[in-house]
Chains A and B, each alone.
Chain A
Amino acid sequence: MDLSYTQEQQEFRKEVREFLAENLPSRISEKVRLGKRLVKSDTQEWSAMLNARGWLAANWPKQYGGAEWDAVQRQIFEEETCLAHAPRLVPFGLTMLAPVLLAFGTEEQRQRFLPRILSGADWWCQGYSEPGAGSDLAALKTTAVPDGDHYVVNGQKTWTTLGQHANWIFCLVRTSADVKKQSGISFLLIDMETPGVTVRPIVLIDGQAEVNEVFFDNVRVPVENLVGEQDKGWTYAKYLLTHERTSIAGVGFSDAALATLKHVAAHTMAGGSPLDRNPHFAARMAQVEIDLMAMRTTNLRVVSAAAKGQAPGAESSMLKIKGTILRQELTSLLRRAAGPDAMPYLPEFLEGGDNTDPFGPEHAPSAAPTYFNMRKLSIFGGANEIQRTIIAKAILEL
Chain B
Amino acid sequence: MKLVVMHLTGNYAVAWAVKLSRVKVVSAYPITPQTTIVEKISEFIESGMMDAKIVRVESEHSALATVFGAASSGVRAFTATSSHGLMYMYEMVWWSAGARVPIVMAIVTRTIGAPWNIWSDHSDFMSQRDTGWLMIFAEHNQEVLDSVIQLFRITEDPRVYLPGMIALDAFILSHTTEPVDVPDQSLVDSFLPSRRQPYTFKSGDPITMGNLPSNPRDNMKMRWDVHESLVAAKKVIMEVDREWGELTGRSYGGLIECYRCSDAKYFIIGVGAWVGDMREAVDMLRSEGYEVGLIKLRFVRPFPAEELAEVVRGGKGAIVFDRSVSAGSAGPLYLDTVAHLGALNVGVPVKNVIAGIAGVDVTYNDIAGVVRSFIEEIESKGVVSNYVEWYFG
Chains A and B come from one and the same complex: no
- Give residues in A with beta carbon < 8 Å to B: none
- Give residues in B with beta carbon < 8 Å to A: none
